[in-house]
Chain A
Amino acid sequence: MKNLWIIMPVLLMSLGTYAQDSLSTYSRQAAQNNISLKPGDSRFMLRGYYHTGLDAVTSEGETDYNFAGGTIAPILMYKQSDRLFFEAEFEGAFEDGEFEWGLEYADVAYVLNNYMTVRAGKFLLPFGTFMEKLHPAWINRLSTRPLGFGHDGIAPTTDVGVELRGAFHLGDVKLNYQAYVINGPQLKDGSEEPDEAGMLMFGYMADNNNDKAVGGRLGFFPFSSSALEIGLSALSGKVGDKGSRFADVRANLYAIDFSLVKNLSFMKSMVDIKGQYNYSQIGNANYKVPEDTTDLFYDFTNTSNSYYAQVSIRPSFVSNEFISNLELVGRYSSMDTPEGSLWEQSPTQLAIGLNYWIDWRTVIKLGYQTTDGLGDHDSPEPITQDMFYIHWAMGF
């Protein structure tokens, strides 16, 4: 009997192997008979990305070291037919010591014909290319975003609405377009955060007025190889609260984006050049002077702009495998927010990085970034901030 107890686990294990083996035999036979395992019509896929690492930020002569927990971003994809598709990205991160989930996007898409796909829901706005296509940690060659994107940025991120998109060829040239109607950005009127009066908020689910914002992007591939793309984007809508004195304030946003990816065989390297220019023009409005009881108002010309240009080079085709996985990247970015506003700032930023690609979607990023210029409302003095980091990012 004792022996039986010893043998049982072995037996169970081998039965397990047997079951697995019979399954693989079945699938192999199925493959040979060319009938496959007949996957159903409900095809799910879980993808996503994550990054973590160590940051060393030096500001006013003091350096803070921090392990950065990064953001976990699972993406659920669901394909129901060749036309019907759903995807949603969740974003989990620690904020002030607590873990919080957010919804980055969730939208349903239907392929109407060869030239048109309709999408509805919350989607990444095709305003330039950085936010829609390049910001995920395993795609972005640096660990930070260029100035103008993200928190306190001037470029829109996501919104709720409906969008038509598609692509077509005219001879050798390829064009792609996106046109959308969304709830639109919202104006901060200063009643809650007086220092941010005149800024735009992006990504809110509920609209503050009935005026829907419209926008779109037109992308242009002049060469048949798709190596070069130039894009133009615009977004326009009223941004003030319904019924308030800001109700007629309109925002017009524009962007130009550029992308060139080329194999330089004489250098045995791939070179990737990316850039985007954002321009934001918001209608004039009078904002209340903070902490003033006499109803004093101020105004300013509410225009902002930002841009970045990035070059990365990877000697992918040298024979040494270690070197072929290295990538050198440099990025310059700049932002100007309105003079006379309480969030006036005009920083410039230089970021350089050395990346090591473990495989096509996993990368170790070593970087240095220095930001200079006039600070925001928190520090009206000129600021300099330096940052060293080592991050590990992966897409899955």
Chain B
Amino acid sequence: MKKLSVITSIILMVGIIGYVSSCAPSAKITAKTGAQIWGENCIRCHNPASPSTFSDVQWDVATLHMQIRANLTPEEATKVKEFLQAANN
């Protein structure tokens, strides 16, 4: 019974993913810059870090960490990383 429900939820999930990938984010979302995504998302839990806090390589690690923890899309996290790396020197 439990196995069935696990399998059903996985199928459901795959179905949702299929549906979602056919839906596009709005133009307003795709036009968002790394600076905006950084400013709007980090502050949801903690004060936004100064770009000068970390080196390029450290930001590379930290942004993947936050992509996973804060449920950013890979595209959002990449934009944030590029902004922070551009602003830390």
Chain A contact residues, CB within 8 Å of chain B: 36, 39, 43-45, 47, 77-79, 82, 85, 87, 109, 111, 113-117, 119, 132-134, 138-139, 164-172, 174, 176-179, 181, 211-212, 214, 219, 224-227, 229, 259, 261, 270, 357, 359-361, 395
Enumerate chain A residues within 8 angstroms of B40, measured Cβ to Cβ.
225-227
B61, A79: Cβ atoms closer than 8 Å = yes
Q: Cα distance A213–B15 when bound, in Å?
A: 22
Q: What's the nearest-Cβ distance from chain B to residue A39, in Å?
A: 5
Some 18 contacts from A to B, beta carbons below 8 A apart, are A44-B61, A47-B62, A111-B74, A114-B73, A117-B67, A139-B45, A165-B71, A167-B72, A169-B23, A172-B26, A212-B6, A214-B9, A224-B28, A227-B40, A229-B44, A261-B43, A359-B50, A361-B49
Interface class of chain B by DSSP: helix
Smallest CB-CB separation from B45: which chain A residue?
Answer: A133
Q: What's the nearest-Cβ distance from chain B to residue A37, in Å?
A: 9
Say whether B13 faces chain A, with CB atoms less than 8 Å apart: yes
Q: Cα distance A119–B65 when bound, in Å?
A: 12
B residues contacting the other copy or chain, number (CB 8 A): 43
Q: Cα distance A43–B55 when bound, in Å?
A: 12
B26, A360: Cβ atoms closer than 8 Å = no
Chain B contact residues, CB within 8 Å of chain A: 2, 5-6, 9, 13, 17, 20-21, 23-26, 28-29, 32, 40-41, 43-50, 53, 56-58, 60-62, 64-65, 67-75
Q: How many A-B residue pairs have CB under 8 A?
A: 120
B44, A226: Cβ atoms closer than 8 Å = yes
Those 9 A-B pairs whose CB atoms lie nearest each other, nearest first = A169-B25, A176-B71, A360-B47, A45-B61, A167-B71, A79-B61, A39-B57, A168-B20, A171-B26
Enumerate chain A residues within 8 angstroms of B24, measured Cβ to Cβ.
169
B61, A172: Cβ atoms closer than 8 Å = no
A115, B17: Cβ atoms closer than 8 Å = yes
Q: What's the nearest-Cβ distance from chain B to residue A237, in Å?
A: 9
Enumerate chain B residues within 8 angstroms of A212, measured Cβ to Cβ.
2, 6
A168, B73: Cβ atoms closer than 8 Å = yes
A179, B13: Cβ atoms closer than 8 Å = yes
Enumerate chain A residues within 8 angstroms of B43, measured Cβ to Cβ.
261, 270
**Given A181-B6, A261-B44: A166 touches B71 (CB 8 Å cut-off):** yes
Enumerate chain B residues within 8 angstroms of A132, measured Cβ to Cβ.
69
A360, B29: Cβ atoms closer than 8 Å = no
Q: Cα distance A395–B53 when bound, in Å?
A: 12
- Which residue of the partner chain, among B2, B9, B20, B71, contacts A170 with CB atoms under 8 Å? B20
- Give the interface centre of B5, B23, B47, B75 by most chain A CB atoms within 10 Å: B47
A165, B68: Cβ atoms closer than 8 Å = yes
Q: What's the nearest-Cβ distance from chain B to residue A162, in Å?
A: 11
Smallest CB-CB separation from B74: which chain A residue?
Answer: A114
B46, A360: Cβ atoms closer than 8 Å = yes
B71, A219: Cβ atoms closer than 8 Å = yes
Enumerate chain A residues within 8 angstroms of B53, measured Cβ to Cβ.
360
A116, B17: Cβ atoms closer than 8 Å = yes
Q: Cα distance A171–B25 when bound, in Å?
A: 4
Q: What's the nearest-Cβ distance from chain B to residue A269, in Å?
A: 13
Q: Cα distance A78–B41 when bound, in Å?
A: 22
Enumerate chain A residues within 8 angstroms of B6, measured Cβ to Cβ.
181, 212, 214
Q: Cα distance A214–B12 when bound, in Å?
A: 15
Enumerate chain A residues within 8 angstroms of B29, measured Cβ to Cβ.
169, 171-172, 174, 224
A172, B71: Cβ atoms closer than 8 Å = no
B46, A139: Cβ atoms closer than 8 Å = yes
Q: Cα distance A133–B41 when bound, in Å?
A: 13
Q: Cα distance A117–B41 when bound, in Å?
A: 19
Q: Cα distance A74–B13 when bound, in Å?
A: 34
- Which residue of the partner chain, among B50, B56, B68, contacts A117 with CB atoms under 8 Å? B68
Enumerate chain B residues within 8 angstroms of A119, measured Cβ to Cβ.
68
